[in-house]
Amino acid sequence: MVVFRLDRQGRPPDDARMDLPYRLHYAPDNASLCLRLALLARDLPFRTVLVDRSIRAQDTPAYRALHPGGLVPALETPDGTVFETAACLLYLADRHGGLFPGPGDAARGSMLSWLFWLSNTLHPALRVLFYPEQYSGPAARSDMARSNHEQIGRMLDTLEAALPRLEGWLGAEEVSILDCYLCPMLRWMALYPEGGTGWYQPARWPGLQAVAARMDARPITGVASRAEGLGPLPFSRPEPPDPPEGSPI
């Protein structure tokens, strides 16, 4: 695994164009963490490309050619570039197996529902939480935050209640892309926005906390945590990141 930076125009260095199966365009403690975990779980060789958010590299034409929305992550693959977190995770699972029920598996339909619930329901609610300035003016933000906290709490209640139906694919012995997607989101709720996390009380969701603790115990988490500076228990007892390069915001 090799790390390099995009330059100020969002271009990788010339010597970075080596023939590795995957190039993960990432920023520390961003949704790219979900993909890093999945790649590590299948022991897939990949190169990381820092999207330097401190200089808004995600807004450069070169990066927008990879992800039209200018969001992190984007994953360069042998089949072309894939973007959107759930799409990347499902691509890896279907191409390499072991991370998700395959086509023809009786569990696939239900697990697809929960994968896209994470992507289309929980994750967008977190974006409102983390980037309120994109969704309302200053006068409305307090009320919006309160409503959003209540909404996300109900979402987590729903997922907590569903855990028995997710046995084998969330918090199980073998990691899945549901683990890879959910656990970073649990981390972010405990950390972001700085000074605005008092609403999130993990003890309210003991089953989800157990999923996070199991993810912390996996060897892949140690590797990902060292790469992004996330601390010893990044999912069950999160602490602010201290990445070796780049910025999470």
CATH of the domain at 90: 3.40.30.10
Q: How many domains does the chain have?
A: 2
Backbone dihedral region of 226: left (phi > 0), alpha (psi from -120 to 50 degrees) or beta? alpha
pLDDT in tens, the chain (249 residues): 333 344 443 444 444 444 578 999 999 999 999 999 999 999 999 999 999 999 999 999 999 999 999 999 999 999 999 999 999 999 999 999 999 999 999 999 999 999 999 999 999 999 999 988 888 677 667 888 889 999 999 999 999 999 999 989 999 999 999 999 999 999 999 999 999 999 999 999 999 999 999 999 999 999 999 999 999 999 999 999 999 999 998
Amino acid code (one letter) for 219: P
**Domain end residue (candidates: 74, 96, 118):** 96
- For the domain that residue 192 is a member of, what is the CATH number? 1.20.1050.10
Residues 92 and 114 occupy one common structural domain: no
**Spatial separation of the C-alpha atoms in residues 111 and 174, rounded to whole Å:** 15
Residues 122 and 143 occupy one common structural domain: yes
Report if residue 233 sits inside a domain: no
Residues 84 and 173 occupy one common structural domain: no
Whether the full predicted model's pTM is greater than 0.85, yes or no, is: yes
Residues 29 and 79 occupy one common structural domain: yes
Host domain of residue 179: 108-218
Report if residue 240 sits inside a domain: no
**Domain end residue (candidates: 68, 96, 124):** 96
Residues 54 and 89 occupy one common structural domain: yes
Give the residue carrying structure tokens 């601390």: 231
Residues 37 and 89 occupy one common structural domain: yes
CA-angle at 240, arms to 238 and 241, nearest 5°: 105
Instruction: Determine whether 134 is exposed, middle or buried from the number of CB atoms within 10 Å of its CB (0-12, 13-18, 19+).
Output: exposed
First vs last Cα of the chain: how many Å apart? 23
DSSP class of residue 50 equals: E
Please check whether residue 231 is in contact with residue 238, taking contact to mean a CB–CB distance below 8 angstroms: yes
C-alpha distances in Å from residue 178, one per residue of 33, 111, 175, 192, 200:
13, 8, 8, 21, 21
**Spatial separation of the C-alpha atoms in residues 31 and 56, rounded to whole Å:** 16
Residues 6+ apart with CB under 8 A from 132: 141, 144, 145, 193
**Domain end residue (candidates: 96, 131, 148):** 96
Report if residue 136 sits inside a domain: yes
Report if residue 148 sits inside a domain: yes
